[in-house]
């Protein structure tokens, strides 16, 4: 199946007078049409910057896409003129931002914020765009009569529903969901995820789901990419990665979760912290925290090894099989 999104060797830096933050470092991944890709990793792994790069929203002059290609339906996003990108952004590619509390304009009614998106991209008159806004609110479980209310009159869960309604108002082909349930309690989180899943199926939308929660990935995604220090260290189907995690970082993520099938007194956290993005290690970025690191790991960047679509960036693997097995 053809990829709707294909990112190759993406490098993104944020620079100041004193230092350069290497946020994304040679990232490559693809998403098939109609599929859901889970993007997981610790805070600071570069997940949000990757999503902003797809939308060409890395803020200059501090932020800059240094190199790489981002193909959306075969079109190079980086080659589009600003006015062309404005037509893509919100209509063909939409984003659910991480914090619903700050994603909405507090001075404009929620109905007008949805209607504005529809008018901008579909050219509908005000009356029709307001009607569409009411329909979108109903679609996410909010009465259309509340379209004249302001964001502060909604709970956190309802704000997130409004943000989702804005993102889906123009039936985008690609949805970037940046931790869409992080600010919600567990009960509301489950409701929002179920609603998103139904809407995605209804509209046939392709999705990149950015999250810390491996449970969300297991329930909602087709493929998963594990990110660390701005690069994808493991990629495959959910069955491949969850059934046979290979990269020591991915294994560490699973090890830090409680397992109902095993009795244990304590979880096993990954030691240490993410590396300083202004001073990344010379070799494998994970080597300072890796229990299986060798001298080669500390000196040489690993390349991808692939077997049956299961891709791992680790010196322990060569030709798709673990060395020493």
- Which of these three, 149, 171, 193, is where a domain ends? 171
Q: Is the Cα torsion angle 24, 29, 249, 97 positive or negative in sign?
A: positive
- Which of these three, 148, 171, 194, is where a domain ends? 171
Does one domain contain both 104 and 22? no
Tell if the pTM clears 0.75, that is, is over it. yes
Give the C-alpha separation, 164 to 81, whole Å.
27
Does one domain contain both 255 and 165? no
Does one domain contain both 166 and 178? no
Which pLDDT score, from 0 to 100, does residue 258 have? 67
Which pLDDT score, from 0 to 100, does residue 193 have? 82
Which pLDDT score, from 0 to 100, does residue 259 have? 66
Q: Is the pLDDT of residue 323 over 60?
A: no
Q: Which two tokens stand for residue 102?
A: 């700050």
Does one domain contain both 230 and 303? yes
Does one domain contain both 301 and 152? no
Instruction: Give the residue-averaged pLDDT of 9-21.
Output: 94
Tell me the CA end-to-end span of the chain in Å, nearest whole number. 33
Does one domain contain both 140 and 18? no
Tell me the per-residue pLDDT of 145-157, one tens digit each, with 9 for 90 and over: 999 999 999 988 8
Q: Check which CATH number belongs to the domain holding 267 and give it.
A: 3.40.50.300
Which pLDDT score, from 0 to 100, does residue 313 have? 95
Q: What angle do CA 310, 210, 291 make, to 5 degrees?
A: 55
Does one domain contain both 160 and 24? no
Does one domain contain both 233 and 122? no
236 CB-side CA count, 13 A: 24
Distances (CA, A) of 291 to 145, 266, 316: 57, 18, 12
Does one domain contain both 134 and 233? no
Number of domains in the chain: 2
Residues 6+ apart with CB under 8 A from 252: 268, 270, 289
Does one domain contain both 73 and 87? yes
Q: In 3D, which of 23, 27, 34, 24 has the Cα closest to residue 1?
A: 34
Higher pLDDT pick, 263 / 253: 253
Does one domain contain both 142 and 282? no
Give the C-alpha separation, 50 to 63, whole Å.
12
The residue segments making up the domain with residue 228 are 3-92+172-322
Does one domain contain both 273 and 204? yes
Contact indicator for 210, 47 with CB cutoff of 8 Å = yes
Residues 6+ apart with CB under 8 A from 35: 1, 206, 207, 222, 223
Tell me the per-residue pLDDT of 135-194, one tens digit each, with 9 for 90 and over: 999 988 899 999 999 999 998 888 988 998 999 888 899 999 998 877 677 777 787 788
- Which of these three, 128, 150, 171, is where a domain ends? 171
Q: Is the pLDDT of residue 245 over 50?
A: yes
Q: Is 9 helix (H, G, I), strand (E, B) or coil?
A: strand
């Amino acid at each position: 199946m053809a990829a709707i999104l294909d990112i190759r060797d993406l490098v993104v830096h944020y620079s100041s007078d004193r230092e350069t933050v290497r946020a994304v470092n040679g990232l490559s991944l693809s998403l098939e049409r109609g599929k859901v890709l889970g993007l997981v990793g610790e805070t600071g792994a570069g997940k949000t910057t990757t999503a902003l790069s797809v939308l060409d929203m890395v803020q200059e002059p501090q932020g800059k896409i240094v190199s790489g290609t981002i193909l959306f339906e075969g079109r190079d996003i980086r080659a589009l003129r600003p006015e062309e990108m404005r037509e893509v952004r919100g209509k063909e590619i939409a984003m659910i931002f991480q914090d619903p509390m700050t994603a909405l304009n507090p001075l404009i009614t929620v109905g007008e914020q949805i209607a504005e998106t529809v008018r901008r991209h579909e050219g509908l008159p005000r009356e029709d765009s307001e009607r569409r806004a009411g329909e979108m609110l109903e679609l996410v479980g909010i009465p259309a009569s509340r379209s004249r209310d302001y964001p502060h009159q909604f709970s956190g869960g309802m704000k997130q529903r409004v943000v989702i309604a804005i993102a889906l108002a123009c039936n985008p082909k690609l949805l970037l969901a940046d931790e869409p349930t992080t600010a919600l309690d567990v009960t509301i989180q489950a409701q929002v995820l179920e609603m998103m899943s139904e809407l995605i199926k209804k509209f046939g939308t392709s999705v990149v789901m950015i999250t810390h929660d491996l449970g969300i990935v297991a329930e909602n995604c087709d493929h998963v990419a594990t990110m660390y220090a701005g690069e994808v260290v493991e990629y495959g189907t959910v069955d491949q990665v969850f059934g046979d995690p290979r990269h020591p970082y991915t294994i560490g993520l699973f090890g830090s979760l409680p397992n109902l099938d095993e009795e244990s007194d304590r979880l096993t956290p990954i030691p240490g912290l993410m590396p300083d993005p202004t001073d990344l290690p010379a070799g494998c970025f994970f080597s300072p925290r890796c229990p299986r690191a060798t001298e080669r790991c500390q000196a040489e960047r690993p390349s991808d090894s692939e077997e049956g679509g299961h891709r791992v960036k680790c010196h322990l693997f060569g030709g798709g099989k673990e060395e020493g097995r």
